[in-house]
């Protein structure tokens, strides 16, 4: 029996050896930081806590306060011991110059009371653990207390448990070191090449496109220089149109004019009476295959529905096995045009969308990237990078965006930089591409309302669109005529068109009142119905100018078809 008791005692000793925390009664603390506090009213008492220090880490322990109602260290004390070290650190009540304890192994804290009479003993300590890495320079500390190298922050990979290292990070293009400075330097270079008298000469349309796409991120409004740039664009566009009889515009040239007008919130459908979109659609039908991608891209940017065979033509370009060295540039433009179509075209025109060819082209472009980050020469590299941005591949891991952008910035910052390279590179540094022209915001101070239909409501309505002409005639003999071409949703009423028109141009502002079941319009353009003079606003509607007739229905009950002519005519009325 005694032998069995002895074996039991030995067994308990072995358990205590491997489970010290259990046998010594110490509370086990495993958190990276915490507080140890205790208060006791007694005469003999002891309690302990064990702080577990992980490998490759250390803990700093601080005494914050220690109070005893009687006596000093002979009555009560707090002792700290560190595993694998023989020394102990003793804290006494009433002192205030306690030194912190730093340990690289587990720490045990003892609170002891010993006296013949009862008294109160109270203390508080705090501890904080850190990995050795946290003590080094260029270190990022996660919320959990773990530390990682600063170079691992904002690298697209979550190294901290809760993703702290990726929160608030710039991604994609904006995460490339030096991109903001390069964009600013490139914009300054572009402005140095601009002339107060002639803009960028024959490249004014391209200069404006690059300038607007590159500065949109930081633009706060329209300044005098921008107004002058736009006016120069208008003059050069009109000059090119007027020379069209003797010096015909190509589809490519028209595409650049349409893009420039769109990005500056002009109306390419009604540019001083000229419909550049219609001109471009007619021109592209007789142009070579290489001109189709940029033309379709410009048409899509302007909000135009592309021809039914557009996707087939663009697919043909993507699948071409031509040996022309410039083929990749044309294919990149085709990819941008296809990137535009799903967002901008009605569902019925997407039934033959070549998704497989599109995705294969994106994959092919990524695989063509060279070790230096380029895709060939600097111009090809820029246009392919734009195409990949348009395809939503900015943060894809199967190509090196950082290397491509760095390669382009190196050229932009060099002495050999030229206008064409700047035109292609600058938008990229603002996370833009040519297909982003269609997202131009024309709702604020940057809008030029004098030329028509930059109306957000029109673009936000889903479904097929059509074009109508809305005119104001003033006087029986049409002494004053204002005409606005609007691209509007189908099945729209005259009243809706009038509301869109007044948003696009203040000349078309009108006032009305509901009288019974009919809308009565009594003021247009600040001109009010005048019974004394016998002049009133009358509504005329027709499928074209020659067929318009007086309509007495309420404007919100009259719907029109594609190509319709709507006229509000201020004239003498007869009963």
Name the residue among 61, 70, 129 with its Cα closest to residue 98: 61
- One DSSP character per residue, 466-512 reads EEEEEEEEETTTTSEEEEEEEEEESS-BHHHHHHHHHHH-GGG-EEE
Distance CA 118, CA 135 (A): 45
Q: Is 444 helix (H, G, I), strand (E, B) or coil?
A: coil
520 is in an annotated binding site: yes
Distances (CA, A) of 568 to 470, 537, 559: 8, 6, 15
Residue 537 counted as an annotated binding residue: yes
Provide the 8-state DSSP code for 538.
E
Burial 89-116 (b: 16+ CB within 10 A, else e): bebbbeeeebeebebbebbbbbbbbebe
CA–CA distance, 526 with 196 (Å, rounded to integer): 37
Kindly state the tokens that stand for 509: 């502002």
For residue 521, how far is the Cα from the chain centroid? Answer: 43
Q: Specify the DSSP class assigned to residue 304.
A: P
Q: Which residues contact 380 (CB under 8 A, 6 or more apart)?
A: 326, 328, 329, 332, 374
51 beta partners: 29, 107
Query: Cβ contacts of residue 372 below 8 Å, gap of 6+?
Result: 403, 407
200 appears as a binding residue in the annotation: no
Q: How many CB atoms are closer than 10 A to CB 121?
A: 25
Strand partners, 112: 46, 77
Residues found in the chain: 575
Coil, strand or helix: which one is 341?
A: helix
Residue 264 φ/ψ, nearest 5 degrees: -100, 15
Cα torsion 483, 306, 381, 152: sign: positive
SS3 87: coil
Q: Is 194 annotated as a binding residue?
A: no
The 10 Å Cβ neighbour count of residue 571 is 16
Please say whether the beta carbons of 340 and 437 come within 8 A.
no
521 is in an annotated binding site: yes
H or E segment to which residue 211 belongs = helix 204-215
Residue ranges of the annotated binding site are: 329, 377, 520-521, 537-539
Residue ranges of the annotated binding site for cyanocob(III)alamin are: 329, 377, 520-521, 537-539
């Amino acid at each position: 029996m005694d032998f069995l008791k002895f074996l039991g005692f030995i067994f308990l000793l072995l358990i205590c050896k491997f489970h010290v925390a259990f046998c010594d009664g110490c509370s086990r603390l495993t958190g990276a930081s915490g507080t140890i506090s205790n208060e006791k009213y007694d005469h003999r008492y002891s309690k302990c806590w064990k702080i577990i220090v992980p490998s490759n880490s250390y803990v700093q322990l601080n005494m914050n306060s220690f109070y005893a109602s009687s006596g000093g260290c002979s009555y009560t004390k707090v002792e700290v011991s560190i595993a694998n070290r023989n020394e102990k650190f003793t804290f006494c009540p009433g002192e205030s110059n306690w030194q912190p304890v730093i340990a690289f192994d587990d720490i045990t804290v003892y609170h002891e009371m010993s006296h013949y009479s009862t008294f109160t003993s109270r203390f508080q300590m705090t501890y904080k653990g850190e990995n050795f890495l946290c003590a080094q320079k260029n270190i990022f500390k996660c919320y959990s207390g773990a530390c990682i190298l600063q170079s691992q922050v904002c690298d697209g990979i979550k190294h901290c448990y809760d993703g702290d290292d990726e929160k608030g990070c710039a991604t994609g293009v904006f995460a490339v070191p030096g991109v903001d400075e390069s964009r600013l330097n490139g914009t300054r270079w572009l402005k140095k090449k601009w002339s107060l008298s002639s803009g960028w000469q024959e490249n004014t349309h391209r200069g404006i496109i690059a300038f607007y796409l590159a500065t949109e991120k930081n633009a706060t409004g329209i300044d005098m220089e921008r107004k002058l740039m736009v006016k120069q664009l208008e003059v050069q566009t009109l000059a090119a149109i007027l020379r069209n009889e003797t010096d015909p515009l190509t589809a490519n040239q028209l595409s650049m004019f349409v893009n420039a007008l769109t990005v500056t919130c002009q109306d390419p459908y009604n540019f001083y009476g000229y419909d550049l979109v219609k001109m471009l659609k007619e021109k592209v039908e007789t142009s070579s295959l290489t001109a189709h991608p940029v033309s379709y891209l410009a048409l899509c940017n302007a909000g135009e529905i592309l021809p039914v065979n557009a996707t087939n033509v663009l697919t043909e370009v993507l699948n071409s096995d031509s040996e022309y060295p410039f083929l990749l540039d044309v294919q990149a433009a085709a990819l941008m045009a296809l990137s535009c179509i799903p967002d901008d075209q009605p569902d019925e025109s997407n039934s033959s969308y070549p998704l497989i060819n599109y995705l294969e082209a994106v994959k092919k472009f990524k695989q063509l990237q060279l070790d230096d980050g380029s895709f060939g020469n600097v111009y090809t590299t820029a246009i392919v990078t734009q195409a990949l941005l348009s395809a939503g591949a900015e943060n894809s891991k199967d190509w090196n965006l950082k290397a491509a952008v760095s390669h382009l910035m190196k050229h932009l910052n060099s002495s050999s930089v030229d206008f064409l390279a700047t035109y292609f590179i600058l938008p990229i540094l603002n996370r833009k591409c040519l297909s982003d022209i269609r997202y131009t915001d024309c709702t604020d101070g940057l809008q030029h309302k004098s030329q028509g239909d930059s109306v957000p409501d029109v673009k936000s309505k889903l479904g097929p669109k059509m074009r109508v002409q809305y005119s104001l005639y003033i006087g029986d003999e049409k002494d004053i005529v204002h005409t606005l071409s609007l691209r509007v949703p189908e099945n729209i009423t005259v009243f809706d068109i009038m509301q869109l028109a007044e948003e696009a141009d203040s000349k078309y502002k009108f006032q009305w009142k509901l009288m019974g079941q009919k809308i009565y319009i009594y003021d247009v353009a600040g001109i009010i119905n005048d019974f004394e003079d016998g002049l009133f606003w009358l509504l005329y509607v027709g499928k074209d100018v020659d067929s318009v007739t007086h309509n007495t229905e309420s404007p919100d009950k009259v719907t029109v078809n594609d190509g319709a002519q709507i006229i509000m005519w201020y004239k003498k009325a007869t009963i």
